[in-house]
A and B are shown apart, each in its own frame.
Chain A
Amino acid sequence: MSRRGAARARASLAFAGALRGLAASPVTSTVATATIALCLLLAAAFALLLGNMERVLERFGEEVHVSAYLADGLAAAEQERLAEGVGALPGVESVTLVTKEAALERFRASPFGRAALVEGLDDNPLPASLEVVLAPEARSRDGVEALVAALRGVPGIAELGYGHEWVEGYARAVSVVRGLALAIGTVLALATLLIVANTIRLSIYARRDELEILQLVGAGRAFVATPFLLEGVLEGALGGLAALAALAAGFRAARALLGGGLELLLGYVEPSFFGVGGALALVAAGAALGLVGSAAAMTMLRVARP
């Protein structure tokens, strides 16, 4: 038999052994698979939340702009000149002048029914403003701060708005969620490893007679251990698939239940599920958990000395 043929035969034997192991102890195998699924479900839910929260930050980065509110009483020509001057500042991509009238129109057209608030007013209380869009290389916290510092010294600009507090608070929340996910994920992974290792140990114990016989007819450690390692990998991969299915169902249900509220929570970023890479990573993480748990259990195997 060729070397490749022999390797294929060994792989096929190991796979058959793993399937036999799963079938021989369905309860313990199911417990291990469910544990891995639960662990991955929680970790993946955090990852999904994090991914969507980070997209909000990314979007803010892409759309970052500074609003410079102009002092009342500036003539249109002065406003134009001011806009040109600001447009020449470093880190500025474009400047749009929003006149008092245009600001009022926008306010009326906003989606929160604010039109009634300004219906009875004699004067337009909204100031004219310059909407300053940052150049791509300046779209960072430092870039925003440098531009704001430059604008503060410009005569005719009364006030600046750039939503930094909201962004910084959101970034802090993302950071907390990331830390939580890491801590919870670590604890869950360790607990899962222990459970998988003990499940495989039970499986080894249930089949100790068979293992003893295999060793007595000359089976090496790899021959005996590989089916158990594969058993762990299969349990893990199945757990990963189950977690993926449960998370997808939960995600769909949350979208249906919360509707536009979810988009509002995410700052008008449409929530998105894992792509193919993410889904594969989840299944691979399950397989890896199963493999490490099985490997830990392999310390039970000794050369049979009946």
Chain B
Amino acid sequence: MSRRGPEPTPSGSGGLVRLYHVSKAYQAGSWALRDVSLELEKGELAFVTGPSGAGKSTLMRLMFAAERPSEGQILVLGRNLGRLGPPGVAKLRRRIGVVFQDFKLLHRRTVEDNVGVALDVVGVAGPERKARVFAMLKRVGLQHRRHQHPLSLSGGEQQRLALARALVNDPELLVADEPTGNLDPELTAEIMELIASAAARGTAVFVATHDHALVERWGKRRLRLEGGRLVEDVRLGRP
């Protein structure tokens, strides 16, 4: 393994996500991510693995512009994140679905509104909003809970709700940080089915996980981070 880590795949010139020698330090000299280069294609499902503190969450946050890189360049959906101002960041995020480890649900709003808020920001309203929210909730099996509030849902249901919000806009990129972290194997399979079907429809997917079984079962590409460096980038050769 070279010190600089794997270079972006040459064939990936049309990648939806491209990182060029990206480093991130929260404090001077303390690198959360060091010299990472990679590309992700349309419809690709990649798992990012590694021990705690390896830089998985930092990598995820860089992709939806929650952080700026200290060094290097990041292109997401054709936009250079280093050059985006707040309006540009907002527009880019409308094309990205994000599932957070702690779900980040709106507890004062109903299940229906938690999903609908992603449509609100892109201006989808009225009957179309209602229909799309209902269809999405049906896909994650929460349509019967749509008038309840998130705190009345189980952990697994909250996780599915977070995924429903991330997918309702048919995002071009889905970034999921430990999306099955709190789930039993059955629910994990359900969630992964949803994520895989999004990838099958053309969404590029990054999933950060500790769960090797998940990678073995679902992964088409495995990226491994250690100490902030990308030490492995393997295509697993599944159809």
CB within 8 Å of B: which residues of A?
1, 5-6, 9-10, 12-13, 20, 24, 209-210, 212-221, 223, 302-306
Contacts and interface: CB of A to CB of B under 8 A. Distances in A.
B121 A220 contact: yes
Name the residue in A5, A212, A217 with the highest tally of chain B Cβ atoms < 10 Å from its Cβ.
A217
Contact of A303 (B89, B100, B122): B89
Interface of B: 61, 64, 66-67, 86-87, 89-96, 98, 100, 104-106, 108, 117-118, 120-126, 128, 165
A304 B108 contact: no
Contacts of A24: 108
Given A213-B104, A214-B117, A216-B64, A9 B90 contact: no
B105 to A, nearest CB: 8
A305 B123 contact: no
The 9 closest A-B pairs by CB, nearest first: A9-B125, A218-B94, A218-B93, A220-B90, A303-B86, A219-B121, A217-B118, A218-B121, A6-B123
A215 B123 contact: no
Given A216-B64, A305-B67, A210 B121 contact: no
B106 A210 contact: yes
B67 A218 contact: no
Contact of B90 (A12, A209, A219, A302): A219
B98 A216 contact: yes
B104 A221 contact: no
A306 B104 CA distance: 11
Nearest to A1: B125
A218 B91 contact: yes
Given A1-B128, A9-B125, A303-B86, A217 B66 contact: no
17 contacts: A1-B128, A6-B123, A10-B125, A13-B120, A215-B90, A217-B94, A217-B121, A217-B165, A218-B90, A218-B92, A218-B93, A221-B90, A302-B86, A303-B90, A304-B66, A305-B66, A306-B61
Contacts of A304: 66
Given A218-B91, A220-B87, 14 more contacts: A1-B124, A5-B125, A9-B123, A209-B104, A210-B108, A215-B93, A216-B93, A216-B100, A217-B118, A219-B121, A220-B86, A302-B86, A303-B89, A303-B90
Contacts of A13: 120, 125
B123 A221 contact: no
A213 B117 CA distance: 9
B125 to A, nearest CB: 3
Contacts of B95: 218
Contacts of A5: 125-126
A221 B106 contact: no
A223 B108 contact: no
B78 to A, nearest CB: 16
Contacts of A1: 123-126, 128
Nearest to B91: A218
Contact of A217 (B87, B93, B123, B128): B93
Contacts of A218: 90-96, 118, 121-122
Contacts of B121: 214, 217-220, 223
A217 B116 CA distance: 11
Contact of B108 (A20, A214, A303, A306): A20
Given A304-B66, A306-B66, A217 B117 contact: yes
B66 A6 contact: no
Contacts of A223: 120-121
Contact of B126 (A9, A210, A221): A9
Contacts of B87: 220-221
A220 B87 CA distance: 6
A226 B92 CA distance: 21
B90 A212 contact: no
A12 to B, nearest CB: 8
A82 B34 CA distance: 109
Given A1-B128, A218-B90, A212 B104 contact: yes
Contacts of A220: 86-87, 90-91, 121
Nearest to B105: A213
Nearest to A212: B104
A215 B98 CA distance: 12
A223 B127 CA distance: 21
Given A5-B126, A13-B120, A218-B91, A213 B106 contact: yes
